[in-house]
Structure 1
Amino acid sequence: MSSWGRQPAGWRGGVALAILLCAMQGAAAQEGARPTAPQPDVPQGAGVADADRLRQAVRADYVLQCAGCHRVDGRGSSRHGIPDFRESVGGFTHLPAGREYLIRVPGAAHSQLSNAELAAVLNWVLGEFSAAQLPADFTPYTEEEVAAARPNRYDDVVPVRHKLAETLSSMGFSLSEYSYGSDRKP
């Protein structure tokens, strides 16, 4: 369990949400747009130092559980079938099935992270690597959402990914290359 897992769940989730919204606001400010995400109810007693410590802990969870494949900078390895998160992964959140996909992919669903930690890491990944692709009305992942979807793991993720990519492409979204299982496209 990460060090931030010892904090009360409400505090942890509220600060993780604040971290995501700060990242989204930063991306929107870089593009000159106003952020449209709802403002969180920041838990009482969660100051800037606490938020910074949690941001570092969530990043550490990403590094320990995800970066082995997706790399620290999120660029993945197309040569090995590992998709790039940068300017891509946020597209999935435009579809309910895409949102669920991010929870149910093997690396996420089988990780050692708790449901609350996985929700925080998903939110961090989206804010860190793909905030510009998020819908204006994006709702951050919650522990409850992860707990509901995570047990329904995919038997074969490849056709699911290809179908989502096809649907998102028809909506004008371009996902990163995904060569794994390319010989099994539906």
Structure 2
Amino acid sequence: MPTIMEKGLYAYLTDRKEAGLKENVITKKLKKGDILYDTTQQDTGIFEIVSGAVKLGGISNKGKEYIYELLTPGEFFGNLAFLGPDFCEFCKVLTATELRYYKTPYFKHLITHDPQLADWAFSKIVFRWNKTESMLANIRSYEPRERIQVLYSSLQRKIMTANGREVFLNKLITYQDIADLTATTRQLAADTIH
């Protein structure tokens, strides 16, 4: 029998005929440039990327936007209420994107009542931690131009959009996004990539 990791959460829940699935999981389609949520929203629910990509970020003390994460199909994010009132972020859509929205109480119930689902959720959390730790390690390990090249190469992969188009992830982001993710400047990112 395929695992949750092999088939995905929604297929796992569908196969199990999980009670409340239709009422608690909603599919959303968004266009490039849409804002899923902004820094004023705390309770966002849990989102799963089915196709497309999003970027997560915040607003600096000086009022300037920055990003710290790019998410692609199969990744989960959201539920900022768990992080307390001092944390806030925004989520912007990079290309036509399809998401599944899981209501927070339903998601909590699932992972606290199904050990397989709890294991799956922990693996998703560890995956996100690893992405962040790897990004920080790159910032500490490489010189600025090398950081940009390493990031740009890692993003040179295709993803499927909600419109059924294949696009390269590195073509969806700006020089400023690259600078944010590498702790460099927009100008250095532009000079390095061209």
Q: Do the two structures share a fold, i.e. TM-score over 0.5?
A: no
More strand by share: 2
Kindly name which structure, 1 or 2, has the bigger radius of gyration based on alpha carbons: 2
More helix by share: 1
Query: Higher relative contact order at CA 8 Å, sep ≥6: structure 1 or structure 2?
Result: 1
Length-normalised TM-score, structure 2: 0.30
